[in-house]
Amino acid sequence: MRGLANSEVTVELAVAIGVAAARVLGNAVHKQDGERPRAVVGRDPRASGEFLDAAICAGIASAGVDVIRVGVLPTPAVAFLTADLDVDFGVMLSASHNPMPDNGIKIFARGGTKLPDELEESIEAAIDQHWKRPVGAGVGRIRDLEAPADPYLEHLAKALDTSLAGLKIVVDCANGAASEVGPAAYRQAGAEVVELHANPTGLNINDKCGSTHLEDTIAAVKLHKADLGLAHDGDADRCLAIDSEGNVVDGDEILAVLAVAMRDRGALAQDTVVVTVMSNLGFKLAMEAQDINVVETAVGDRYVLEAMREGNCTLGGEQSGHVILSDYATTGDGVLTGLNLASRMARSGSSLSELAAVMTKLPQVLINVSGVDRTLVGYSEVLTAALARAEAELGHTGRVLLRPSGTEALVRVMVEAPTELDARRVAEGLAQVVRDNISLA
């Protein structure tokens, strides 16, 4: 869950979720007599994370679960520690790439995996249930883990088999959770690192920096004549890249580079990569040319993860830079992604621009149409006919996607075409049909 901290994401809610998660996930069946279940709790550096951390730890401990508090760490580090410490569940307090006033609560199941729907529903239902509180020695204890970043850094080091010596990397930490471990991981791998936005105050996370604001990273790559730039978001589960010439290398291009690299060394299971329907058509055409299979899912990393598990795949991700390397992580890991991208450069001796040339992005135009009834997409005959005409016009040279937002009164119109002019013309035409036929007015 995610929202405005201290307005939607409150102390009371954090305590209640802590209690509910402890009751549902704190299963002591596998424990020895007298041994309590345990949970890991981490956060990003937002100011609100300080009181939310105290609240959720209090809720968990009050329900009889011991808490191992790890402080400020990336989301994938908390997922890793949940598995590495063999605890019953993990909690990450972060609103990821959202602005500083927001915060959120993400819960990992045992092993550091995302919760299946049924467990999420059980936790939600438990929030309002009456429960018997433990007393005396039955309450949980809270302790801080000493040097919590060390096991995660050791884990990242084991994921690489190539030194990054000779590479100069600009690392934009978004004044977020990777501000310490991000630069440390790249230096540990041998790279020369230029740190950018690595001084979190609790108030400056994602503030005109990181993966959602690449201007400073581009400028720093050019200024320092770096080989590449890597930009993370507030909780460091994303990574976007900048080549030495200052060009953006997005999640699709990163996935294309990694897919070919993994295929070449026999690490791309089923010769398949999993992406969402929002991936650029150029990515799919490039993978087809490389004899690599592409599986598409709905938008959202949880759907990518589900498809990866079902197909026993080792690589998946999103255009946003959320990349999942399942041989080493249970969720998207921006630092792990950056390390693997730089490793491909070091191993091949190629520049990032040369590697990213494996795919050619088609111009993509996205228009969000507000004030419409998103539930009518697929039911309006006029809209369906307009969509069919657009698809017929573009044929195999382009793509059209109409997607209702899952949370807002929006319909997203996305068009890819050989030229930006064509993409914009088709997108604006479809957007107008949406406005004219499923308006809420």
Residue 101: predicted pLDDT: 96
In terms of average pLDDT, the best of 32-36, 227-231, 362-366 is: 227-231
Tokens of 217: 């990273």
Averaged pLDDT of the chain: 94
Q: Give the list of residues 6+ apart from residue 388 with CB closer than 8 angstroms, or none.
A: none
Confidence check: pLDDT of 441 > 80: no
Residue 158 domain flag: no
**Which residues, in sequence order, are bridge partners of residue 242?**
229, 248
* Residue 114 CB-half CA count within 13 A: 18
Q: Side chain identity at 391, as an amino acid letter?
A: E
174-188 pLDDT tens trace? 999 999 999 999 999
Residue 92 domain flag: yes
State how far the Cα of 39 lies from the Cα of 44, in Å rounded to an integer.
17
236 and 321 both lie in a single domain = yes
The neighbour count for residue 312, using CB atoms within 10 Å, is 10
Average pLDDT over residues 318-323: 94
Residue 291: predicted pLDDT: 97
Residue 372: predicted pLDDT: 84
Average pLDDT over residues 87-93: 97
The neighbour count for residue 425, using CB atoms within 10 Å, is 16
Residue 300: predicted pLDDT: 84
Report the domain count for the chain.
Answer: 3
Residue 149: predicted pLDDT: 97
State how far the Cα of 239 lies from the Cα of 262, in Å rounded to an integer.
18
Residue 155 domain flag: no
Contact 54, 17 (CB under 8 A): no
Residue 291 domain flag: yes
Last residue within a domain, chosen from 340, 356, 372: 356
171 and 269 both lie in a single domain = yes
Range of the domain at 343: 165-356
81 and 229 both lie in a single domain = no
For residue 184, how far is the Cα from the chain centroid?
Answer: 21
pTM of the model: 0.91
106 and 172 both lie in a single domain = no
CATH number for 133:
3.40.120.10
Residues designated as active site: 96
Average pLDDT over residues 90-102: 96
Residue 410: predicted pLDDT: 86
385-412 pLDDT tens trace? 999 999 999 988 899 998 887 667 788 9
Length of the chain: 441
- With tokens 């990393």, the residue in question is 301
Residue 31 domain flag: yes
pLDDT interval class at 31 (50, 70, 90): low
Based on the number of CB atoms within 10 Å of its own CB, is 158 exposed (0-12), middle (13-18) or buried (19 or more)? exposed
284 and 379 both lie in a single domain = no
296 and 269 both lie in a single domain = yes
8-29 pLDDT tens trace? 999 999 999 999 999 999 975 5
